[in-house]
Amino acid sequence: MKTTIVCVMGVAGAGKTTVGKLLASELGCEFLDGDTLHSAANIQKMTLGIPLADADRAPWLAAIHARVVEAVQQGQSLVMACSALKQHYRDALAMRVSITWVYLKASEELVHARLIARHHHFMKAEMLASQFADLEEPTEAIVIDAGVAPEVAVRKILTSLAHVSVQTG
């Protein structure tokens, strides 16, 4: 099997973790939630409602990139969830590796409703505006409506991945 690296990206509350876990299960590979690699300082900032600056995100992105490189070197496929809001974040993540981007496109209303219903997570609904302000929609990605059921999203992603594989394989 060809090594496949997929990043499910989008704003907080778009469904990256839910869709990413299901996708990894379907592909039979590891799932990495990028949020687990945030530093304690980053988590503290977000818990206090302070949006992260690029300097805060740089070590986090480097840690995720290191995991991606490790997977590629070991010939293992990987699905990861990472906001990857800006193009230069995606560039940093994909340095010297090939990543298929899956963008969960969501309205502010949809994710706001999800975030206020979500408990025990450091990302609060009050910080949503900063996510949308930072978002630079990707130009080369599989775009999925974040409002569809996760199972539907995964089917659409798998269909798109098969199409990409046929074109590049």
- pLDDT tens for the 169 residues of the chain, in order: 578 999 999 998 899 999 999 999 999 999 999 999 999 999 888 878 787 889 999 999 999 999 999 999 999 999 999 999 999 999 999 999 999 999 999 998 888 787 776 655 555 556 677 888 889 999 999 999 999 999 999 999 999 998 765 444 4
**Residue-number span of the structural domain to which 150 is assigned:** 5-168
Report pTM: 0.89
* Cα gap 61→93, rounded to integer Å: 6
Helical ranges in 74-127 per DSSP H? 87-93, 108-117
State residue 133 phi and psi, 5-degree precision.
Answer: -65, -35
Residue 19 tokens, joined? 């869709």
Q: Give the pLDDT confidence of 24-57 residue by residue, as tens digits.
A: 999 999 999 999 999 999 988 887 878 788 999 9
Which runs of E-coded beta strand occur in 3-152?
5-9, 30-33, 78-81, 100-105, 142-145
**Looking at the 3D structure of the chain, how many domains does it have?**
1
* Cα gap 111→50, rounded to integer Å: 18
Q: Provide the CATH number for the domain around residue 151.
A: 3.40.50.300
